[in-house]
Chain A
Amino acid sequence: MQELLNHLNNLPFNYEEAVAVILFAIGLSMLLFCRNLLKKVIGLDVMDAGIFLLLADRGYITGRTVPIIVDGVTEMEYYINPIPAGLVLTGIVVSVSVTALMLSLTVRIYKTYRTLEIDKLYIMMTNWRKGERE
């Protein structure tokens, strides 16, 4: 509990992380609870953006510069950590391909059923099942 309170005291200084986690939570709940397929895909991208923001923010250190050697300065203290940026890039590639797959599935579902509402799709499915049984 005490640890939690200490974390909360640091909140004003770590507002980027707070924003990132809030974005993540918004995206996750959109992905889980929105009843429209397109909104689910948007939620997926918001969620990934939250994670990437958190990761990019962890790699940035105030007052330092990009890790490209200029003027022969090789001391570590002058540069930010480049690994999170690399991870974010990889993550973006993954996120783009997953989004593409989701969108293509969404398009095919719309072509087949003319709707993107999950509830309507489920109603259709249960109707089929009843038909199968009879």
Chain B
Amino acid sequence: MSFVQNFPFFTIILSLICAVVSFVLSKNASKWVSVALLSISSVLNLAVLVYCSQNNTDFTYMMGHFPAPWGNELAAGVFESLMALLFAFVMLMSILGGASHVEHDVAKQRRHLYWVMVDLTHAALMALCYTNDIFTGYVFIEVCTIASCALLAVRGGGRVLIASVRYMIFALVGSGLFLMGVVFTYSITGHLLFPQLREAIALLWRDGSYRLSMTVAIGLMSVGLAIKAGLFPFHFWLPSAHGRATTATSGILSGVIVKGYLFLLIKIIYRVVGVEVFHASGVQNVLLIFGVAAMVFCSAAAVGSRRLKTMVAYSSAAQIGYMFMGLGMGTEAALIAVFFQIISHALTKPMLFLASSSLMDSCGGHQDFRSLRGAGHRNKPAGFLFTVGALSMVGIPMFIGFIPKLHFASAAFGMGWRTWAVLGALVISTLLNVLYFLYTAMLLWLPVNDDNRPSFNGKSAWRHAAPGLALAVLGMAIGLQSAPLAQLLQQGIALFCR
């Protein structure tokens, strides 16, 4: 066994240790512990990715050396390590970019607890990426919910409290449904580990017994995770939660946590249920229809929103629709498009949140569109970042947002009524994106007379924008040269769907 195979476990246990240590440290030290943790975790996950990709292999890791049907396992392959790397890196950039806002938004005596919660969220996400056991998945879903709710509520203030209660209520409905699905699956099959579950489910489905119960279980798990990820029509908590939180939390919530749940759902579809059974159960079409509806309705809601951050958050809900639509299409090409979409959204959305907060700062804290007019001239780096993000969200070629749209469109052909649903939703959603993102981006660069504006110190703006710029550069690199990543995803699919 290679030493690299320990790394997935290290990322989880290291973040749990860091959370405990941060609890007793001072607020500044605990911040640097989180930064160090996320950097180390990125490096470890990169090592696992390189190991899996070069040897073209995946591996399972026994916890405590109990063999398969009894023990708990971690599994790592190209997809798992790629997602873990993406989550760790995006979280790192979000907290680096949002650190100054955290100091402003969070009360001094509670500030070190914020970093404890960042560590715990990271632990939960790593466990969601690497776990090979469905009940462990449930437990870490709840850890992730609690930690992210604390990240949201820590800002204080009445409206944030209401947003966090809404967030909690929908998250709890989702995890209740998911747990019920797990219990159903366990009582039908008697297993909790993914490989054993998959064998048992395939056998039962061929047999024809328990089909109805299995369909209900698949439906409960998918709907539960869809509610937690904020799929239309259960997205009402999302704009208030993502839009009201402090900047770093907004980036983490919309850039990373939503995808943690989504990746668990992908693992359940492809490694537990099996894509054939998932297709036959009919749940696939439900995801497709709600994904398409999310793309249209949430984009329309974004056009109607009056605040900048709410608009960006509604656009997240629409982008989540793209991902569920891809899962509903069910082909391998569509799965590649889903992963491109996950990567593109995770890199772009935190950047947009960082840029919007910076722009708000330069307008004296206002975020209605009237105050934002010409804000790009006052805060050039943030205006530049927002423009890059907006162009990427619209799907202009050369920017990263173009790649998933291209893949979705080319995957859609030859699927009967689905082709028209997917292509129609792509067109409508892109047009609406043009309407609200390009409109906002142009608004930022309108020439205005700045005499009666609050003064803004532009010197530190470039320093604050550096993490956002890193995300932008990475996004541009993938947007210009997506072939190596596509190759990696192809390799991942071959390992993942085996």
Task: Give A17's nearest chain B residue, CB to CB.
Answer: B187
Check A48 against B159 for contact (C-beta < 8 Å): no
A113 to B146, CA, bound (A): 23
A36 at interface by CB-CB < 8 Å: no
B179 at interface by CB-CB < 8 Å: yes
A32 to B306, CA, bound (A): 28
Check B180 against A51 for contact (C-beta < 8 Å): yes
- Smallest CB separation, B215 vs chain A (Å): 10
A44 at interface by CB-CB < 8 Å: yes
B169 at interface by CB-CB < 8 Å: yes
Residues of A near B145 (CB, < 8 A) are 98
A51 to B211, CA, bound (A): 21
> Looking at chain A's contact residues, is the secondary structure mostly helix, strand, loop, or mixed?
helix
Check A31 against B183 for contact (C-beta < 8 Å): no
A78 at interface by CB-CB < 8 Å: no
Check A98 against B142 for contact (C-beta < 8 Å): yes
Size range of the chain A interface in the assembly: 35 or more
Check B165 against A106 for contact (C-beta < 8 Å): yes
Instruction: Indicate whether A98 sits within 8 Å of B146 (C-beta atoms), given known contacts A48-B176, A121-B162.
Output: yes
A101 at interface by CB-CB < 8 Å: yes
B212 at interface by CB-CB < 8 Å: yes
Contact code string A57-83 (vs B, CB < 8 Å = 1, else 0): 010000000000000000000000001
Check B187 against A58 for contact (C-beta < 8 Å): yes
Instruction: Indicate whether A105 sits within 8 Å of B173 (C-beta atoms), given known contacts A51-B183, A90-B135.
Output: no
Check B211 against A101 for contact (C-beta < 8 Å): no
Check B211 against A3 for contact (C-beta < 8 Å): yes
Instruction: Indicate whether A125 sits within 8 Å of B159 (C-beta atoms), given known contacts A31-B173, A48-B176, A90-B139.
Output: yes
- Smallest CB separation, A53 vs chain B (Å): 10
Instruction: Indicate whether A133 sits within 8 Å of B306 (C-beta atoms), given known contacts A37-B165, A101-B168.
Output: yes
CB within 8 A of B176: which of A31, A102, A133? A31
Check B186 against A44 for contact (C-beta < 8 Å): no
Residues of B near A105 (CB, < 8 A) are 149, 153, 161, 164-165, 168
A interface residue numbers (CB < 8 A to B): 3-4, 7, 24, 27-28, 31-32, 37, 40, 44, 47-48, 51, 54-55, 58, 83-84, 87, 90-91, 94, 97-98, 101-102, 105-106, 108-109, 112-113, 121, 125, 128, 132-133
List the 3 closest pairs (A to B, CB-CB), nearest first. A58-B187, A94-B142, A112-B158
Residue contacts A-B, CB under 8 angstroms, 17 given: A31-B173, A47-B176, A51-B179, A54-B180, A55-B183, A83-B192, A84-B186, A87-B186, A91-B179, A94-B142, A98-B146, A98-B168, A102-B168, A105-B161, A106-B165, A113-B158, A132-B368
Given contacts A3-B212, A98-B145, A98-B168, 13 further A-B contacts (CB under 8 A): A7-B212, A32-B169, A54-B187, A83-B192, A87-B186, A97-B142, A98-B146, A101-B149, A101-B150, A102-B168, A105-B153, A109-B158, A125-B159
